[in-house]
Structure 1
């Protein structure tokens, strides 16, 4: 082995200094420039060299002249005397080398800095902002809702995703346009790394949303769980609790997630939530539109509001206290909200009301007794629902959960048929049959896009049809198959003159808009609802208990019932009268659905929530009243 020489040691030390970056290179260039200037200046002074017809330069004059020619090669253009010219030429050549290298180093340093900024690795210095962790396709819906929630209030949303910063910004700009008063800041990083989490300043954030990332199904929840571990177990985290809302796909992972979260996290279980909503909306036409409006920040939403002037009053009194808002429940102090409680429930001093309103800040209670038309109120006994038939077309991992939820809604003796071209679906349905109490599901193998199969099934004999997206094909192909089946169903309904309710699951919101344009009275549910719930809970954590009761088959739910069960048809009535009619049935009226030819399509499928109570309305035979009730 060759012995290490002093040249090797010197070269090694030189290499180490260069590894210090641009600053080290600039220091070496300055040293080289100084060496050239001092050497030439010393030779000029020692050799008594100067311009023609002038006295020889002193050492200080020679240093100054050399420095000027190093910085500006054009300075030597006026030099005279060949000895002086050659000396200054040497300085100028050295200066050209040093300055050009210096410019290159500075340019490269600026490029590197811009590259670093482009990567989105600088720390976010914000307070009271909202953080989104993990990049997902439905992040756009969450951002849209957060922008609506902020309104005219300045706000900041910070995104930490495992994608290029510029790519994320371009995608958001393309899908959502300008941010308005809401600033959207993107940073690139991995949400399971403590150093990357420090970039988005979690300790000063008002809320954190952990999204299920765009990964394989088995990896999505694993990534969310690891992200939660990184947040709650960070040794440098703040002492107080975080406000975290996390999305999980599989209900089986909730128990493990709760062990990790230490009660700091509100979980939205996508599979369970969508299954519950599909089960409910499949029974009632128009219910999906009701949920979409309630969960969206467009129009009226659910709020919890303090109204101390109603302390000591009953829930029955509160129903008429607001002309522009709808009271649907009471949240006791340090207790869970109760929706549609008994009419004699007394509102405590520190209780809050659960209301549907456009803005809760403007609510002012009016304790005067409203007038309503007693003669227009209909007293009609509640009839028990008859057994019916439901057809489920398509298959994915949520179908078993939907069938379990349907078991809580259908009348005993009802029939549910599942049709799909997946062999494993038949085994899953057979296994599930033993756990169901009100119906025995039946499975039939077949291609759900085949018109001949649909004709053989006699779809017109069913009251409800549920279209599910396949999860064994890419999302766009799954949506395409659903759309083809949907078009066949519409044609069958048109030909036979039988109107059965259709609930279609879509994976891409853009595809949903296409079929809504074609015919808006098909009610489509997708993962968009999960995004809406995430945005709502990020703003108001306490709404989780409200949503849990609304979506639970055992609790209070939303129903859409014939208007003729409440008021006389064809008679002008105020909505105060509708509220009173519902109150006498132990229900809370929150809106109505008008069906007037195709006009209803221009108004959210005819759904009107939280109408002004003094508005005069005339209902027809097909119109419906939307109520919160327990049936």
Structure 2
């Protein structure tokens, strides 16, 4: 009874609509019949109205009906034959057959074109290119990699860059156009589909490419997907030794060895988290290092190239340092394929060796004797004082934080202390480490870093530098950089209150947030995705440079440093850059540029000048810095299973 009360009466209009819908759903013939009825219901009355309102129409009824037929037949393309009803019926039949044939032909053509256009829009056609660069996968590095490949001004630049990812082709083209800009003479081609499918991977013709790059996504299974793509690439290229060089990136070090096996003998694998952690650790105590590396890795200015060493064969490596006016020599590529970065000045340049130089492009490294430009009287004779132990503060924790701590432990001065403040449970050993404790002591403290009052309550006076790490994507409702920017704002407010500027090393995930970071000029902002993309693009241009970058970003061997100009030349003295190069050579280093500290040191270069002409003269102040490639002593890596951190009990500490 209640259900009958709630039931509303159905109107005649609703019943008619329901009956019409059921009729149309029966078959295509029913639909065509209704279309004919609707057309006749509109065309015939309108044609009759036109005939009856025409002053020149026939007077007789039969004549007018014939005119109505002709008008309706012309509108519906059914023929205009008049006469007996049989003739008119045959004419209409022929018109319907013609209409059916033409409509079918138009439908077939339209469907074929639509399917072809849809296939092209999905990016499933085969790429017929030679010497192109293939980028497999879509991540936050893809725009940087593609942009640098397009901007490369060298003989290695590909004529086309082909991107294959499991995304919409139009969406990829729009995103690349927004980030990369005009591609100039380089063609950008996008194809859609899973790169781990050999059938789809064959569409981009990797066998004829000049290089293949495999990028990890931001998903938790990114490294496993990189392995699948490398195996699919092996299936397409075959098991032979031929094929293009393959460059891949993984996030976790556990996948690096399998990825090397899958990439083959011509493959190079980078571990992005380790590279980022090494750079963060290197920036501690070296303000401006991230700016130098960014300028060094992009293709907008000078970058590393290989140059002929014929003029220096049989002589010492130190002679080559002053053997180029517009290039800076930093290492050797021996005839056996070994790369020596910043070797001793007495190292012999054997026949078949090539020089690793910082220069504008491939053809700009021309030998020229610059020894006459050196002014010995301007060289500083005093030895630089040893660096003191540092007290550092690390705010935040993510998957790269243990790598950062380990790198700091190996490079810190003896007696240094690292305080870690985080709102997450982090691993910490329960016993005193057997070695390295006197080098860096690590202490943990738990605090809610999401609250500004917690940050504003920090005492920054004891610290020589700060490291800010953002949370992992997905750890909270906000984007990772949002928490980082809030932390930087609080630190900037503390600097204004105390009147003391702090050296801050900040990690961001999106390069678009770099201009938003409220940091002082002495701080470094590191975008991990951009750094990896620049490295991939550089190695893709010349795979022989992979050992150079591997050593530059490692804790052992040679690395890039910024040191006071007074360590090399007399401050307040005007002299040439060749004099700086000679002074650095005498200290076992390779000078590649400088950073000035004056009013002109503003963004975007912040006073950094790489690869200046050897004849360039300037007055060197006590605040200026020289950019050198140098070798610094480090703590040996701890043995497997050995604790690397000192533990201070706290509510957030857990055993790994």
With normalisation by structure 2, the TM-score equals 0.80
Q: 2:90 aligned with 1:90, yes or no? A: no
Q: Does 1:199 align with 2:203?
A: yes
CA distance in 1: counterparts of 2:318 and 2:626, whole angstroms: 19
The 2-side partners of 1:556 and 1:207 are apart by 28
Q: 1:221 aligns with which of 223, 226, 230?
A: 223
* 2:125 maps to 1:122: yes
Counting matched residue pairs gives 556
Equivalent residue for 1:305, pick from 304, 307, 311: 307
Q: 1:198 to 1:421 in 2, by over 3 A?
A: same
Q: Does 1:395 align with 2:387?
A: no
Give the counterpart of 2:174 among 143, 165, 170. 170
1:379, 1:461 → 2: CA distance?
33
Contact 1:460 1:500 in 2 (8 A): no
2 CA distance for matches of 1:225 and 1:481?
A: 33
More helix by share: 1
Q: Which of 184, 189, 192 is equivalent to 2:193?
A: 189
Deviation at 1:75, TM superposition (A): 9.4
- Match of residue 460 from structure 2: 459
Alignment of 1:501-580 (within 5 A): 501-515=503-517, 519-527=520-528, 528-580=530-582
Q: State the secondary structure of the residue aligned to 1:459.
A: coil
Deviations 1:131-183 (A, max 9, x none): 01011122111111111115796720001100111111111122222322221
Q: Deviations over 1:554-576 (max 9, x none)?
A: 20111111111111111111101
Task: Decide whether the 8 Å contact of 2:456 with 2:490 is kept in 1.
Answer: no
Separation in 2, partners of 1:624, 1:194: 52
Which deviations, in whole Å up to 9, do the C-alpha atoms of 1:170-224 show, x marking residues without a partner?
A: 1112222232222110001111111001100010011000000232x2x010100
Tell me the CA shift for residue 364 of structure 1: 1.3
- Structure 1 pair 352/618, CA: closer, same or farther in 2 (3 Å)? same
Does the 8 A contact of 1:323 with 1:612 survive in 2?
yes
Is the CA contact 2:389–2:413 (under 8 Å) kept in the aligned structure 1? yes
The alpha-carbon deviation at position 460 of structure 1 amounts to 2.5
The answer on whether the counterparts of 1:150 and 1:182 sit within 8 Å (CA) in structure 2 is no
The equivalences for 1:132-143 within 5 A come to 132-143=135-146
**Is 2:613 aligned against 1:612?**
yes
Question: Structure 2: how far apart are the matches of 1:415 and 1:359?
Answer: 43
How far apart are residue 229 of structure 1 and its match? 1.0
Alignment of 1:258-297 (within 5 A): 258-297=260-299
**Residue matched to 2:593:** 591
CA deviation after TM superposition for structure 1 residue 387, in Å:
1.2
Q: Distance in 1 between matches of 2:361 and 2:97?
A: 72
TM-aligned CA distance change 1:185 to 1:602, over 3 Å:
same
After alignment, is 94-103 or 290-299 more displaced? 94-103
For the pair 1:210 / 2:214, whether they are aligned, the reply is yes
Q: Please give the alpha-carbon distance, in whole angstroms, between the structure 2 residues aligned to 1:449 and 1:580.
A: 51
The 2-side partners of 1:556 and 1:475 are apart by 41
Assess if the C-alpha contact under 8 Å between 2:260 and 2:268 holds in 1.
no
> Shift in Å at residue 76 of structure 1?
4.5
Distance in 1 separating the partners of 2:485 and 2:627: 29
Describe how 1:444-483 pairs up with structure 2 within 5 A: 444-454=445-455, 456-471=457-472, 473=475, 477-483=479-485
Query: Residues 35-74 of structure 1: matches in 2 within 5 Å?
Result: none
CA contact (8 A) 2:246 2:268 kept: yes
Q: Distance in 2 between matches of 1:431 and 1:286?
A: 37
The answer to whether the Cα contact below 8 Å between 2:78 and 2:96 also exists between their aligned partners in 1 is: no
Partner residue of 2:80 out of 77, 80, 84: 77
Change (3 A) 1:429 1:114: farther
Q: Quick check: 388-397 or 467-476, which moved more? A: 467-476
Structure 2 residue corresponding to 1:149, chosen from 146, 152, 160:
152
Where does residue 623 of structure 2 map in the other structure? Answer: 622
Distance (whole Å) between structure 1 residues aligned to residue 119 and residue 279 of structure 2: 45
The corresponding residue for 2:415 is 413
Residues 222-244 of structure 1: CA distance to partner in whole angstroms, max 9, x if unpaired? 10011111111347577614311
Considering only aligned residues, what root-mean-square deviation do their CA atoms show, in Å? 2.5
Deviation per CA, 1:297-351: give whole Å up to 9, x if none: 1111111222322222321111111111100111111232111111111212210
C-alpha spacing 1:499/1:83, structure 2 compared with 1 (3 Å):
closer
Give the C-alpha shift of residue 618 in structure 1: 1.0
- Residue segments in structure 2 that go unaligned for 5+ positions in a row: 1-72, 633-656
CA distance in 2, matches of 1:194, 1:211: 17
Match of 1:6 in 2: none
The answer on whether the counterparts of 2:308 and 2:354 sit within 8 Å (CA) in structure 1 is: yes
* 1:335-350 correspondence runs (5 A): 335-350=337-352
| Cα distance change on mapping 1:98 and 1:166 into 2, 3 Å | same
Change (3 A) 1:98 1:367: same
Q: Are the equivalent residues in 2 in contact too, given 1:460–1:492 (CA < 8 A)?
A: no
Over 3 Å counting, the alpha-carbon distance change for 1:497 and 1:192 in structure 2 is same
- 1:103 maps onto 2:106 in alignment: yes
Query: 1:371 is matched with which residue?
Result: 373
The 1:204/1:613 distance shift into structure 2, 3 A limit, reads same
Q: Is this contact kept in 1: 2:153–2:299, CA < 8 A?
A: no
CA-to-aligned-CA distance 1:436-491 (integer Å, 9 cap, x gap) = 54222100001235454445542132111111011153595321111121122223
Check the 8 A contact 2:241/2:265 in 1, yes or no.
no
